[in-house]
């Protein structure tokens, strides 16, 4: 049943791009999986999903449109959990996904959650996931006390959970940041359509922290440098043009603008090196990435980043254009701001904390980034327990970036264990 648009929400400035550019070649999806110690029981998972979905009404939204705009509109039905498909992070389908912008699937000991970026980001997704896991384990008979780490399924819904948080960080006077040259991209033999290969590796968090401490950098800065160095090595070995190597790293704006919003509230910062300027050692790349990330994460600089899409939305003439014309404009703008302008993505969810009774039920968390036909291999990392899981997703046959990245870690004294590959 189609909702009245008076009940719907406008898309935030960043989210307006996704409906226009999403498709089988760029589905704009991300996934987070919880691997438990026991086999998943579908009956209890469905009950937990229904209870969690009833609490987080901000997640029960579908995409609708009128002549001028896209909207997020409430869905009255409750979602259903299903068996996992052969390939993760498939595009959202109105027919098979009941109109929801996320899906929950299961296989063996794993519960997988896949989200369309227009709905939420990793922070909002993890809030939803934690509550579902809490409900699921309680249904199994496990006693888990209330905790400030998790939203209780019976807690009241806050109106701030659906606010357009991006408006908190928009400063009209701030000039929008401008992109640089198009970036270097990995090429290779592609896998069949809608096939996403994943390599899941693990490192000891204590060892990684010691390594980062000795170098005076954060975990994200260190991994970004390893990633950039891997791409630089591949570029220097092959017959590639010397284009800039630029890594896209999501920055959660909730750090600077506290909010309970479950909607997407992240921007992307992009440290880069330009190989035309000469050769780079790993130490040089690490220093450059360290200072670049710290500069880009300043509040004023982030305001200029969000003003790129916000500046377009404020344009009076564009606001009055038909939606189909806006789709064409957004597609062109995305090509000047999106995947063409970075060489890969590094997504760090941060450390995932759970109450002790619930943490004992979970072996690990994994995160994967959906396919992109431009950036064929991307990386996401999640910290939980004593380990950091590193997941490379790709649409090419040869995992050249993952292989070079993991070998670099090992060569620097950070042992790597391969958990799975498919």
Residue 94 DSSP label: T
Round to whole Å and give the CA distance between 73 and 86.
Answer: 30
- The residue whose two tokens read 């939980």 is 384
Strands 197-204 and 387-394: antiparallel
The domain 5-154 is classified under which CATH number: 3.30.465.10, 1.10.600.10, 3.30.559.10, 3.40.50.300?
3.30.559.10
What is the average per-residue pLDDT within 40-60?
Answer: 96
Q: Same CATH fold, 197-325+337-421 and 5-154?
A: yes
Count of C-beta atoms within a 10 Å radius of residue 126: 20
Nearest to 396 by CA among 367, 375, 379: 375
- The residue whose two tokens read 């909730």 is 254
Among the ranges 103-112, 239-248, 324-333, which has the highest mean pLDDT value?
Answer: 103-112
Confidence of residue 2 (pLDDT cuts 50, 70, 90): low
Does 314 have pLDDT greater than 60?
no
Domain ranges of the chain: 5-154, 197-325+337-421
Superfamily the domain 197-325+337-421 falls into? Nonribosomal peptide synthetase, condensation domain (3.30.559.30)
- Range of lowest pLDDT (33-37, 167-171, 363-367): 167-171
- Range of lowest pLDDT (137-151, 203-217, 258-272): 258-272
- The residue whose two tokens read 């898309």 is 11
Average per-residue pLDDT for the chain: 88
Higher-scoring residue by pLDDT: 22, 374: 374
- The residue whose two tokens read 């072996």 is 363
Higher-scoring residue by pLDDT: 262, 128: 128
Among the ranges 65-74, 209-218, 264-273, 306-315, which has the highest mean pLDDT value?
Answer: 209-218
Confidence of residue 160 (pLDDT cuts 50, 70, 90): confident
Nearest to 104 by CA among 69, 59, 72: 59
Strand order in the sheet with 9-10: 9-10, 70-74, 61-65
Does 308 have pLDDT greater than 60?
no
Predicted confidence at residue 178, as pLDDT, reads 63
Round to whole Å and give the CA distance between 11 and 14.
Answer: 8
Residue range 75-95, pLDDT digits in tens: 989 999 999 987 888 888 777
Predicted confidence at residue 1, as pLDDT, reads 46
Does 168 have pLDDT greater than 60?
no
């Amino acid at each position: 049943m189609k909702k009245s648009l008076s009940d719907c929400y406008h898309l935030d400035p960043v989210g307006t791009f996704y409906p226009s550019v999403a498709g089988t070649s760029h589905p704009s999806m991300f996934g987070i999986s919880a691997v438990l110690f026991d086999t998943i029981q579908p009956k209890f998972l469905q009950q937990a999903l229904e209870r969690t979905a009833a609490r987080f009404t901000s997640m029960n939204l579908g995409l609708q449109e009128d002549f001028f705009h896209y909207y997020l509109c409430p869905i009255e039905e409750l979602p259903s959990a299903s068996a996992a498909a052969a390939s993760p992070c498939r595009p959202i389908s109105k027919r098979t996904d009941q109109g929801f912008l996320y899906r929950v699937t299961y296989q063996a000991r794993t519960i997988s959650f896949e989200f369309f970026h227009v709905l939420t980001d990793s922070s909002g997704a993890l809030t939803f996931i934690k509550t579902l896991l809490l409900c699921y384990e309680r249904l199994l008979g496990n006693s888990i006390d209330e905790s400030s780490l998790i939203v209780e399924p019976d807690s009241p819904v806050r109106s701030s959970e659906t606010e357009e948080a991006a408006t908190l960080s928009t400063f009209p006077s701030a000039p929008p940041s401008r992109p640089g040259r198009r970036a270097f991209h990995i090429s290779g033999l592609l896998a069949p359509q809608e096939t996403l290969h994943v390599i899941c590796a693990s490192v000891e968090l204590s060892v990684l922290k010691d390594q980062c401490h000795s170098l005076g950098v954060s975990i994200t800065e260190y991994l970004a440098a390893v990633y950039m160095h891997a791409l630089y090595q591949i570029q220097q070995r092959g017959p590639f043009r010397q284009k800039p190597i630029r890594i896209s790293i999501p920055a959660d704006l909730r750090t600077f603008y506290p909010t309970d919003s479950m909607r997407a509230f992240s921007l992307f910062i992009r440290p880069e090196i330009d190989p035309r300027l000469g050769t780079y050692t790993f130490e040089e790349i690490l220093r450059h990435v360290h200072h670049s990330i710290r500069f880009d994460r300043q509040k004023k600089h982030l305001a200029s980043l969000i003003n790129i899409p916000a500046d377009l939305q404020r344009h009076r003439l564009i606001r009055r254009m038909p939606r189909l014309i806006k789709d064409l404009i957004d597609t062109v703008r995305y090509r000047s701001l999106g995947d063409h302008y970075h060489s890969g993505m590094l997504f760090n969810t941060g450390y995932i904390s759970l109450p002790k009774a619930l943490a004992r039920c979970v072996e690990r968390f994994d995160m994967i980034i959906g396919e992109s036909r431009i950036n064929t291999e991307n990386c996401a990392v999640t910290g939980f327990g004593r380990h950091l899981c590193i997941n490379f997703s790709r649409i090419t046959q040869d995992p050249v970036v993952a292989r070079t990245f993991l070998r670099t870690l090992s060569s620097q004294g950070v042992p790597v264990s391969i958990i799975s590959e498919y």
